[in-house]
Structure 1
């Protein structure tokens, strides 16, 4: 499988560890950055990985920042992407089995490298089998409503006044 990986500066060291581990598991890895501990904004790299999944350049993605929250929120803004934060094996498996999540996210300040390896292995070792298709379809349909303008709402302060 071709796996995309990316992080901000907070996740750089864990990203490098996970990148090597994924290659050891026999997968091809595309590194979307960052490439050093120099500060970088997490949305930039999250959008790159999400785009890689969206355009078929990679099959799945792994994103890492300090908590895993920021990259998860950013990746989920990309149309068609389902990113799930996973800091334990069960969540990683369910991200794929229950939600067909194309991306998992982790926090380098939350999870250590050995547990992160177990989480990644669990995520990559399971494949979506359509068990919760009805639920995933509801998410996809809601997203389509907003993309076509059918589900848009006016939120206080966003009317352009």
Structure 2
């Protein structure tokens, strides 16, 4: 599976751990994030990930910033993107099962690195339930 990842200055360590996990599972990773903790603008990293998902260049996207709000707001401007902010494995499962999210947004200041890696694993292994949820998802992307 091909996955795009992007992060601002709050997430280089998170990105490193997640990329290592993804590669250990045989996934190909497109890295659009910064590698330093110097202040940067999150849209500069969220836009390329969202664009790659929107254009079907990758299967899923992962975005990381301090609260995850900025990257989620940026990504959700794209018509085929459903970016969900996740801070627990349970929320992560629901965003895939009920919302068919294709980008997970991780709040680095409110989750640990092991928690973030576990959420990514949950995100990638949880299926969309469809059914009544499909009707709702169709209303998001109209």
User: 1:66: which partner in 2?
Assistant: 66
TM-score by length of 1: 0.83
User: Structure 1, residues 109-129: CA drift from partner, whole Å, max 9, x if none?
Assistant: 110011111111100012224
Deviation at 1:39, TM superposition (A): 2.0
Deviation at 1:81, TM superposition (A): 1.0
Aligned-residue RMSD, C-alpha:
1.2
TM-score by length of 2: 0.93
Unmatched 5+ stretches in structure 1? 142-161
Runs (4+) of structure 1 exceeding 4 A deviation are none
Contact 2:79 2:141 in 1 (8 A): no
User: 2:34: which partner in 1?
Assistant: 34
The whole-number CA distance in structure 2 between the counterparts of 1:47 and 1:21 is 23
Q: Which has the larger radius of gyration?
A: 1
Residues paired across the two proteins, number: 141
The whole-number CA distance in structure 2 between the counterparts of 1:36 and 1:52 is 23
The whole-number CA distance in structure 1 between the counterparts of 2:51 and 2:118 is 26
Bigger RCO (CA 8 Å, 6+ sep): 2
User: 1:100: which partner in 2?
Assistant: 100
Unmatched 5+ stretches in structure 2? none
Could you tell which deviates more after superposition, 60-69 or 124-133? 124-133
Deviation at 1:35, TM superposition (A): 2.8
